[in-house]
Amino acid sequence: MFSLKRKGDYRLQLTRTLKKPGRYDVELYLFTPHENDLSAWTLDERQFFFSTLSHRFGLLGLPEEDRVSKTDGSFTLLSPHYEIMFGSWLFQYRASMDRLRQQIQNAGVTEEPLKRALRLSQNFAQRLRRSTPEQSNQRRYFRQLDIYFSWHAEQFFLECMTLEGYSELDEELIAAIQEFLQQEYRHRREREYLSDFHGSPTRVWNRMSLYHRLLEYPVLLRSKVTELGEGTRKLVKAASTMLIMTLFTYFLFNARAGNQHLSIALLLGIASVYAIRDLLRDDMITVVTRWLRKGKPRWKIRLLMPYTKRLMAQQRVWLDYRKLPNLPHEVLEHSGKWATNEERQIICYRSVLSLEKGALERDKIQERLSLDCEKLCEMIQATRNRLFSYADDEPFAAIQAHPIEKQHDYNLLLVYTEPGTGHSTAQRWRLRLGSDGIVHCESKKTHWPSAEEQQRRSGLLRLRDHLRRH
């Protein structure tokens, strides 16, 4: 199951952990609102794929049985093993803390997730600070990792302290959290980290975001993107040129055979046809190419291991805009009342990941699917409309004017299949966007068929096909 987290004003991030090799199918459908003008003209598929959507994979750390043998100094003598190991530990710690944050946001502040968060933070601090590396590049990485971990853990507990019900928790747990935060402050002062925590909130946030990007670089799988269909486009272009030139040559020879000379009118006619051809040629080539490649992937991505460039997985990606009647039957059948307008555009993204067996020998892999809504928010036009109402219960005593912010509601449907299951699972969220970013995001029911219903339906379809053949 994917977990959703907001990242700033515009970004949403969906994450899950891949634990076994095989084929992973992910389909994302973004249903646009009625009043939205989103289309391939305002935001084309290529721009959406490279600027709005991000699909990345990172190492989540060594299995438990391998950690004991890798805690000695012999494994961390050389880079990049040190950065990969400690970076993957940080990835795993962040993933666990994000799950606990999601649990607290859904069910409120309780003692169990806070105890687990405190235990995870204490164990990670002990493991990280057990020894200090000697090489200069490793010391620099260790310092950034130590600072970022201390800040991230502090932010988690400070956020919990602001939630309703925190003061009613067990006093011993509250005291243990306060003691941990005081220990972190003393550790920063001893290590001379305090300068990194000084400055305006925006400056500190941007600094920690920079540290996070530097820390995750050694554990992110490298993506080598290849755009598919270029060969088909070249063949269509060559075929169209050959066809047009053949027709022109045939017309020219017939004109000369009939008149024995070329008139100015004939030359102007040929020039006009060439001009029209140049105007329509690119659009014609694009239409024919898309027709020939309909249903085929647009990009092929090879995911490589950091530093060693070893192939870990291969990914095929589809992305196009569709109308409601063109959606897959299963999605259309269970889209519900929230997808009734047949004219609005639906952004359809599909990914098929083939994960190699050797990719999970030493690490789990975290899949992150990010959606940047800034381009979508820019399409929302600001309004100066105001709603007038009585300030008090007594009419005409005072009048208030309330400014109205224009907002758009999107529906995000995620359908995915894991290896060995044989059935698909779906999750749905409703996004409310304003001109300044994401206003609200909530999980909704999908009414997706269960695994038994899907198996029963697939059996009926196979029986129907068998009867048709016989």
pLDDT digits (tens, 9 = 90+) for 184-239: 999 999 999 999 999 899 899 999 999 998 998 888 888 899 888 888 888 888 88
pLDDT tens digits, residue range 37-90? 777 777 888 888 888 999 999 887 654 434 434 444 444 445 577 888 888 888
- The predicted pLDDT at position 470 comes to 61
Q: What is the pLDDT, as a whole number, of residue 256?
A: 64
Pairing of strands 222-227, 437-444: unpaired
Residue whose entry in the numeric block shows the structure tokens 């204490």: 122
Alpha-carbon span 82 to 78, nearest angstrom: 7
pLDDT on residue 300: 93
| pLDDT class of 258 with cuts at 50, 70, 90 | low
pLDDT digits (tens, 9 = 90+) for 94-121: 888 988 888 888 788 888 999 999 999 9
Q: What burial letters (b/e) apply to 255-273, b meaning 16+ CB within 10 Å? A: beeeeeeeeeeeeeeeeee
Which helix (H) or strand (E) segment holds residue 114: the answer is: helix 111-128
Query: Which H or E run contains 190?
Result: helix 171-191
For the stretch 359-391, pLDDT in tens is 776 678 889 999 998 888 888 877 778 887 777
For residue 377, which of 16, 5, 90, 33 has the smallest C-alpha distance?
Answer: 33
Task: Convert the pLDDT of each residue in 396-454 to its tens digit.
Answer: 667 888 887 888 889 999 999 988 888 889 999 999 998 888 888 888 888 888 888 87
- pLDDT band at 145; cut points 50, 70, 90: very high
Higher per-residue pLDDT: 367 or 137: 367
